[in-house]
Amino acid sequence: AAMRPLPYFCRGEVVKGFGRGSKELGIPTANFSEQVVESFPSDISTGIYYGWACVGNGDVHKMVLSIGWNPFYKNIKKSVETHIIHTFKEDFYGEILSIVIVGYIRPEKNFDSLEALISAIQEDIEEAKSQLDLPEHLKLKEDNFFHLPEGKIVNNH
């Protein structure tokens, strides 16, 4: 699939998703609001990506991102879910999440079992961690994009 050049910068509000991530998988994900998802370029193909994420003016953490079609909506709505590789003490619904999508891991696929899905996600996380340690990716962690001007929200700098 033709890929638009990464990195891709994106920022938006975190909304409540289906609650599946944390409960069933033990892997909490942050969902972007519909407006943010709809503004995603259509040439970013579905699949699993890695990159950097920052909540509000907090620290920048490694993340894994899934872009996919939500069967729940009969495949007409795309979902973009970010799993930040960090343990947060509380939910951050309503906060601004800033992400930089750095690289692509694999296409979306269906799994026969919850266990298979969870182990695939764990592999994605390991892959993301090692990729993001590469100097060319590490430098994006310091990108000015992550320094939110107080009270100013912009989409895609």
Considering only CA atoms, which of 87, 99, 85, 98 is closest in space to residue 133?
85
User: Do 62 and 128 contact (CB within 8 A), yes or no?
Assistant: yes
Contact between 58 and 68 (Cβ < 8 Å): no
90 belongs to the catalytic site = no
Cα 61 to Cα 64, 100, 109: the distances in Å are 10, 11, 26
| Catalytic residue of the set 13, 81, 126, 150 | 81
CA angle 15/124/94 to nearest 5° reads 10
CA–CA distance, 115 with 72 (Å, rounded to integer): 21
Catalytic sites, residue numbers: 81
